[in-house]
Amino acid sequence: MKSNIQKIMLIVLFFNLTAYASPEEDLEIFRDHFKKRFPNTEFSDYKNGVYSIDSSSREQWESIEDFPPYELNIEQGEELFNTPFKNGNSYASCFENGGIGIRSNYPYFDEEKEQVVTLEQDINECRKKNGEKPLSYYKGGPMADISAYMAYTSRGNIINVEIPNNDKAIDAYEMGRKLYFTKVGQLNFSCADCHVYQTGSKLRADIPSPGIGHPTHFPAYRSSAGRLVTLHERFAGCLNRVRAKPFKAQNAEYRNLEYFMTFMSNGLEINGPGSRK
């Protein structure tokens, strides 16, 4: 009986989030699902990903965070961030508040460019404006380090992504939402299959994390990779796992997906970089 009720609830959730609901209505439905699914989890704790719902592995994770494996990345990111470009400028010249404490402002919809803009994208825009070559978006490295440092300076800031009353912005949000719920690849999986419908359940040896809170702790040091991984690199990894072809780095699909997922995490604190399995 309980499983039938859960199935009905998930069908209702999927229908509402793929019908013509406003982003605010989507947010209410999405949060209500997790509130019912995990009634003992405080909303603020969703910033901790799977450890907000899996007490058995939380203690081990907390001990790792006592001596975080990404400390060196933060130090390297700070050094890179403050190292002047050849023209004498630095990253601070490109960002509001000198680039400190602004991670929670991303992603945002740029009405002039008519597209979603991510932090990593703006880091490379800054480099190009100052005559420097863009950094690679994948395989960790300087991009992940700089992003990690900027996230670290933003810890405790609250995510408050806005969807402007603009047709292009709404379209970007809806495309991100559609991708989140669309089954892809040879295994026919969607983001929602793992992080909405099956979260809290065992999938092979893993427990999928809740769909709320994913963007809060990226870039994340993943033990399985032995390095920092950006959010979009994680998107690509998930697509590979379901045997779907990943999109190009910082493609509109990834940026729109980040837009939707971050909006669903509004109200949570930035606590990146984080550590994950």
The pLDDT tens digits for 69-107 are 999 999 999 999 999 999 999 999 999 999 999 999 999
Q: Strand locations in 191-268, DSSP E?
A: 220-222, 227-229
The CA-based diameter of the chain, rounded to the nearest angstrom, is 68
Q: Would you mind telling me the total number of residues written for the chain in this entry?
A: 277
CA distances from residue 167 to 98, 170, 184, 259 in whole angstroms, order as listed: 31, 5, 26, 15
Using DSSP, state whether 170 is helix, strand or coil.
helix
Residues contacting residue 250 through CB under 8 Å, at least 6 positions apart = 118, 120, 121, 137, 232
Q: Which of 126, 191, 194, 238 is catalytic?
A: 238
Q: Catalytic residue at 194?
A: no
Closest C-alpha among 141, 149, 151 to residue 228: 141
**Is the Cβ–Cβ distance between 250 and 259 less than 8 Å?**
no
| Gap between the Cα atoms of 3 and 74, Å rounded | 45
Element housing 94 (H / E): none
Are residues 221 and 64 in contact, defined by beta-carbon separation less than 8 angstroms? no
What is the per-residue pLDDT for 203? 77
| The pLDDT of residue 19 | 60
Cis peptide leading into residue 273 (ω within 30°): yes
- Positions of the chain with pLDDT under 50: 1-2, 4-5, 7-8
Tell me, yes or no, if the pTM score tops 0.85: yes
Fold designation for 71-152: Cytochrome Bc1 Complex; Chain D, domain 2 (1.10.760)
Residue span(s) of the chain under CATH 1.10.760.10 come to: 2-68+164-276, 71-152
User: What is the Rg, in whole angstroms, of the alpha carbon atoms belonging to the chain?
Assistant: 18
Domain 2-68+164-276 annotated CATH 1.10.760.10:
yes
The token duo for 253 is: 């699909």
pLDDT for residue 78: 98
β-partners of residue 108 are: 117
Instruction: Please tell me whether residue 114 adopts helix, strand or coil conformation.
Output: coil
Residue 14: what pLDDT? 57
Pairing of strands 108-110, 115-117: antiparallel
